[in-house]
Structures are given as C-alpha cells and as structure tokens.
Amino acid sequence: MRLAELRKARGISQRQLAEDLHISQNSISQYELGKREPNQNTLLALANYFSVSVDYLLGNTAHSSDAWHLHEVLQQRPELQQLLELSLKASEEEVESTLRILEALSRE
C-alpha cells in the first residue's frame, strides 16, 4: 500500500490524516506497516483524500489516476488526441455515427 508514500509526499502527519478522516492514528500506523488492512469505506476515504484511485493506493497500478493514464496514452498516440479533440466539437449524432463506423471496423 502506498499510504505512507502519499502521506509523506504531501507533508501530512499520521495524526493529521487520522483527524481529517475521523479514524485513529494507530489505525493509520497499522495500515502503513501492513499489520492491518483498511475496510472498503476507509480505502475509498483514503483514495478520495489523496485524489488517487483505490488501485493506485493499493499498489495495483503505476498510475495515480485514470486521468493520468489517459494523458499518457494521448501523448503516445497523437491520432487519438486528434480524434478526441474532433469529437468534442462534433454533435452527439456525429459522435454516435463515428462510433458505429469504428465498431464496424473493429469487427473486420
């Protein structure tokens, strides 16, 4: 889990984090040491607090958010960035029509 890493990177103490989330400092310490796992609600609260995905918090992905992953993909594939920019200017009907064309092409 990346809890200690995220907390330290933001200059937040265990005590402050515990107060902000209304949980005990001992729980934060145990999460960071791997002695205890947070429940689902606590995981979501931690992820929201640090503005990261639960997967990133748990160490399951190298990207802190889906937005960052999208940014990386668009940087590597300029044609997708162009497609996104054009679709933002298109009408809903034009986007739906384009999607149908792309779906048909992907089946071939």
- The CA distance from 44 to 80, in Å, is 31
Question: What's the distance, CA 88 to chain centroid?
Answer: 23
Question: DSSP per residue over 75-101, as a string?
Answer: HH-HHHHHHHHHHHHS-HHHHHHHHHH
pLDDT tens column, 38-63: 999 999 999 989 888 888 899 887 76
pLDDT tens column, 12-34: 999 999 999 999 999 999 999 99
How many C-beta neighbours within 10 Å does residue 39 have?
A: 9
State residue 69's pLDDT score. 64
- The CA distance from 60 to 51, in Å, is 16
